[in-house]
Amino acid sequence: MTLGPLDEELAKARAAYRDRGRWGEDDVLGTLNFVDDAIRAHAAGLVRRGRSFSLAQEIHGSGPGATTRWHGLGRGHDTERAWHGSSRTATDDGDAVTGIEHLRDAFTGRGVLLDVGRAIGDARGELPDGFPILEEHLRDTVEAQGATSSVRRGDIVLVRTGQLGRVRRLGAWAGYAAGDAPGLSFTTLGWLHRTEIAAVATDTYGLEVRPHEFAGPVQSPLHRIAVPHMGLPLGEMWDLEALAEDCAADGVHEFLLVAAPLPVTGAVGAPVNPIAVK
């Protein structure tokens, strides 16, 4: 699928999916404002068996060369504008306004796994590299998984493509960071905005599909709208394999998720060891 000219599509998306200013000019949380105490209390009540899953990749020499992470609101700048609408705030000294330290206690709530790889992928539950996950694929996954995967306001949504499991099985890490990958289509921005989720993360290096869906070269077009205009934190390189196996076995795709980033002052992103508890 090839979208229209890049500048035209970006301009339409900026106008359609703008949350900038929604929570005040000094806001540092973005869509994490959707998570309130009632949502966190409900999420705690989802724990039935006490089974916990770390969703972080191990850091070792034969892996991807990076780590499971959140991108905060200082990343993904579009046309040199940051989340507050001011000039870009990330400098050599870090992000002076929306550093990741402001999000240290915000990533606790209801997690929902959308196992797109298992719902529409191959026999191994994997999507091929370059596969764009469309809104219809997300809806089909929810329908296939049942009521516990219905997406609600304030959810932290985890999208499994199966790519991590494949590269780990084959030992083929060379293209994981820079090569083709399945991922969210630019066209899912409407779904991400309309559902009012708090954050989204995937098991790939860059979250969105590569190659991108534009005719010419472009760097991370979904990031350029989701972060500085929607205020949506993005998670990358999450290890969803064990959690996905458990969810497939018991049919429950919702859980308590605690995914606090390291509070590095001024950082535009940070490593995280997310814990899902069922």
**Concatenated DSSP letters of 70-129:** EE-TTSS-BTTB-TTSSB--EETTEESSS-GGGGTTT-EEEEEEEEHHHHHS-TTS-PPT
Report pLDDT for 1: 65
Report pLDDT for 87: 53
Q: Could you tell me the CA-to-CA distances from 241 to 24, 42, 166, 278 in Å, in that order?
A: 38, 25, 10, 15
Report pLDDT for 160: 98
Query: CA neighbours within 13 Å on the CB side: how many for 53?
Result: 23
Count of C-beta atoms within a 10 Å radius of residue 241: 19
From first to last of the 278 residues of the chain, give the pLDDT tens digit. 678 888 899 999 999 999 989 999 889 999 999 999 999 999 999 999 999 999 999 887 777 768 999 998 886 556 556 676 655 545 555 567 788 999 999 999 999 999 999 999 999 999 999 999 999 999 999 999 999 999 999 999 999 999 999 999 998 888 899 899 999 999 999 999 999 999 999 999 999 999 999 988 888 999 999 999 999 999 999 999 999 999 999 999 999 999 999 999 988 889 999 999 99
Q: 63: burial class by Cβ within 10 Å (0-12, 13-18, 19+)? A: middle
Report pLDDT for 170: 92
Rounded-to-integer distance, Cα 109 and Cα 120, Å: 27
Report pLDDT for 4: 81
Report pLDDT for 27: 92
Report pLDDT for 219: 87
Report pLDDT for 76: 59
Q: Sign of torsion, CA 274 122 209 167?
A: positive
Predicted TM-score (pTM) of this structure: 0.95
